[in-house]
Structure 1
Amino acid sequence: MTFVFVACASGNQTASQTPGKITIAYQPGINYANLLIVKQQQILEKQFPKTQFEWKELSNGAAIRDGIIANQIQVGASGPGAFLVGWDKGVGWKILVSLNYSEFWLITKNPNIKSIKDFKPGMKIGLPSLDGVQAIGLRKVAQKDLGNPTALDQNLQVIAHPLGVQSLLTGQIDAHFTTPPFEFQEIEKGGRVILKSSDIFGKTSIASLFATEKFYNQYPEFGKALYTAIVDATKLVNEKPDEAAKILSQMDNGKVSQEQYKKWLTNKAVAYGIEPRAFLKCGAFMHEIGMLNKQPKSIDELILPPLKGVGGD
């Protein structure tokens, strides 16, 4: 079975129904594989030929949130931490669709570090942002194991995932809280896992797509088309990883082989799905430690219309 993306005819769309230009931002890694397939196959460009699309890779969710606030980004992909901070501060964005539930791992090469209790002052823990899901998860564990959610905040160093790999392997940082495929690369080079996200919040949407309610209400047909494209791409990744891996390798001009992509996509730590997961758990904890002024009580407070009735927590 081959999945075929169907682009609807756009001739009957009025200017008000079609964005003139749209920027879609995401972060490094295979958590965004289903979104990257939509990009590589030009699904949206075919469906909305009058729209100018810009695809932008940024290093963390905070940068994407800033772009949304500045109206320089219309759709952004990130994790629940950066999203909830923005939601709390009135950015006005909501979840269009989730992308990925992959585990993220805290990895070290330091033989003296067996758990977070072994981090000493001056030891550096690399992660993409201070309000991202890695930082939230680390504070949750610090609260449980060290009695203080901010006990390791002075150890945190903001670093993009790819640079974090090199910094860990060369000893510039003592640990790296990262995502696939970077965590796999670190393990292959002698890194050890000392903490897994699944032990913190359970199944977590490490990556989701967000847009403001204002943008969605102005262009609902575009929002629905993007949602459908992600649903189709998610099915492709889950059911035909060979095809998905081929598309991703083509996107990289073969720098990463189809075989390598398939190995990553089918790793048991990697999972794709459209239901938003763990937003309420993250929100409750962030509210508890003062990172949020308000706490979401229902997933319905956080989602755009295409996700109504899909589920999530």
Structure 2
Amino acid sequence: MRRTLSRLTASIGLGVSLVVGSLAAPAVAQAEGKIRIAEQFGIVYLLLNVVRDQQLIEKYGKEQGIEIEVDWAQLSGGAAINDALLSGSVDIAGAGIGPLLTVWDRTYGRQNVKAVASLGNFPTYLLSSNPNVKTIADFSAKDRIAVPAVGVSVQSRFLQYAAAKQWGDKEYNRLDKYTLAVPHPDATAALLAGGTELNGHFSNPPFQEQALANKDVHVVLNSYDLLGPNSPTLLFATEKFRNDNPKTYKAFLQALAEAASFAQNDKAAAADTYIRVTKAKIDRDALIRLIDNPQYEFTITPKNTYPLAEFLYRVGAIKHKPESWKDYFFQDEQPLQGS
């Protein structure tokens, strides 16, 4: 299955590149002036593309009198991202609210991993090429649904949230058995080409829009219909990195804020940045139209994350109950006003 999907990716030109670099190296303490950032795939990581393209971390580091070395890695799936963060291989992790809540719960009172910022608000679609699947109640053993990480990714958690609404909390993981861990580019390639056992994908932009170019692919569930407008993707770090590297951490926050303003206010330039940094094979005009969608908001302020947190505690997926979104977000010099 994995080999087939890789061939499809290459032939369609969606290109998946897992740049692991030093991720396999033993963890070493990082001195002030270095930051290692792990991201994944899609427009939801556009702010990081802008930060990288314009060297904004380096810019704000120099304003504080330090040279900052920035290393970038690309992985797929919240489980891999969390492992990299906890092993000390990366300092900033980019993943969904699902993986963040998992690692926040796991490190509570120890490494104390918390979110640094949101990467924006975006709808994500659960797609299927099975004409008999109109709602999540129609999925069966004949279906396989791609998610970045089974049971952990934000897409998996959204699916569980939907299942709980459909069948009750005790059945929240009812659809997990139909899911497979497949990177977004590979899953998109499979849906576009057809002919594989993979006929479903809980996606993200722009991959979900690309997959819909196949007339047999349709939307089964929109995350905004499930939870309302929300921030599906976050950046997070350990308390130690934040405390030991205050200047580097501050430069990172300043860089993110500038990137958010840039992306929100100049969609054409943001689209050019995405294409340039990711080398995505996507039509520029189509991309501009996509990110100009009023449902897309590039901001570091988290929105509507708490319902998922409360749900995961209620069903026993996390052990510690956050009293509010502020429990799993760092509160810095300029506290975020989120939800």
**TM-score by shorter chain over 0.5:** yes
- State how far apart, in whole Å, the 1-side matches of 2:156 and 2:301 are: 22
Q: 43, 50, 60: which one pairs with 1:30?
A: 43
Partner of 1:8: none
Aligned residues: 298
Partner of 2:210: 185
Q: 195, 203, 206: which one pairs with 2:221?
A: 195
Q: 1:252 to 1:133 in 2, by over 3 A?
A: closer
Partner of 2:11: none
Return the offset for 1:136: 1.1
Partner of 2:289: 263
Any idea what the Cα deviations from partners look like across 1:59-100, whole Å, max 9, x if unmatched?
112211111100000001111110111011114211111112
Return the offset for 1:32: 0.8
**Alpha carbons 2:120, 2:302 under 8 Å: kept:** no
Partner of 1:106: 126
Partner of 2:21: none
Q: Secondary structure at the match of 2:70?
A: strand
Please state if 1:63 is matched with 2:83.
no
Any idea what the Cα deviations from partners look like across 1:109-145, whole Å, max 9, x if unmatched?
1111111111112421111112111111111111221
Q: Please provide the CA RMSD for this pair.
A: 2.1
When the two structures are superposed, what TM-score results if normalisation uses the length of structure 1?
A: 0.88
Please state if 1:165 is matched with 2:188.
yes
Partner of 2:55: 42
Any unmatched runs of 5+ in structure 2?
1-28
**Alpha carbons 1:25, 1:76 under 8 Å: kept:** yes
Partner of 1:250: 276
**Alpha carbons 2:60, 2:254 under 8 Å: kept:** no
Structure 1 stretch 84-93 or stretch 49-58: which is displaced more?
49-58
- State how far apart, in whole Å, the 2-side matches of 1:23 and 1:39 are: 12
| Aligned-partner residue type, residue 63 of structure 1 | A
Partner of 1:141: 162
| Aligned-partner residue type, residue 143 of structure 1 | A
Any unmatched runs of 5+ in structure 1?
1-15
- State how far apart, in whole Å, the 2-side matches of 1:308 and 1:50 are: 24
- State how far apart, in whole Å, the 2-side matches of 1:277 and 1:181 are: 21
- State how far apart, in whole Å, the 2-side matches of 1:249 and 1:158 are: 25
Q: Secondary structure at the match of 2:187?
A: helix
Q: 1:119 to 1:255 in 2, by over 3 A?
A: closer
- State how far apart, in whole Å, the 2-side matches of 1:271 and 1:85 are: 25
Any idea what the Cα deviations from partners look like across 1:264-290, whole Å, max 9, x if unmatched?
311344322211223321111111111
Any idea what the Cα deviations from partners look like across 1:165-223, whole Å, max 9, x if unmatched?
12223243121100000000011222211101112222221111111111111112222
Return the offset for 1:47: 4.1
Partner of 1:155: 178
Q: 1:300 to 1:252 in 2, by over 3 A?
A: closer
Matches within 5 A, 1:6-25: 19-25=32-38
**Alpha carbons 1:126, 1:159 under 8 Å: kept:** yes
When the two structures are superposed, what TM-score results if normalisation uses the length of structure 2?
A: 0.82
Q: 139, 142, 145: which one pairs with 1:125?
A: 145
Q: 1:36 to 1:102 in 2, by over 3 A?
A: same
Any idea what the Cα deviations from partners look like across 1:28-52, whole Å, max 9, x if unmatched?
0010111111011112234446433
- State how far apart, in whole Å, the 2-side matches of 1:253 and 1:297 are: 41
Return the offset for 1:302: 1.7
Please state if 1:176 is matched with 2:197.
no
| Aligned-partner residue type, residue 203 of structure 2 | T
